[in-house]
Amino acid sequence: MTFWPRRRSLGENFGIEAGQRFRSASMPWVLWEVAAIMRYPWDAAPHVRLCRVGAPQDAKTISLAVLRDGRFFLPAT
């Protein structure tokens, strides 16, 4: 048994990439664009930096699991 961190595979971001757009599931809809996917050494879960489309100074960082949860965000089509 080893305690070394395992090597990350390409599929760990669940197909989420920078540049993809999502909208908030609640009203009023707000369109967000993925600016970066970040991994912190102290946290096992990857995080996503979102910027609001049309107002890039409005940004937030959320867990990738929250972005994939349909109760909070939906892919913009």
pLDDT per position as a tens digit, 12-60: 788 899 999 999 998 888 999 999 999 888 888 899 999 999 998 999 9
Residue 10: CB atoms within 10 A of its CB come to 5
Sequence-separated (6 or more) residues with CB below 8 Å from residue 23: 29, 30, 31, 32, 73, 74, 75, 76
Determine the Cα–Cα distance for residues 22 and 30; give it in Å rounded to an integer: 8
| pTM for this entry | 0.78
How much is the pLDDT for 19? 94
How much is the pLDDT for 5? 53
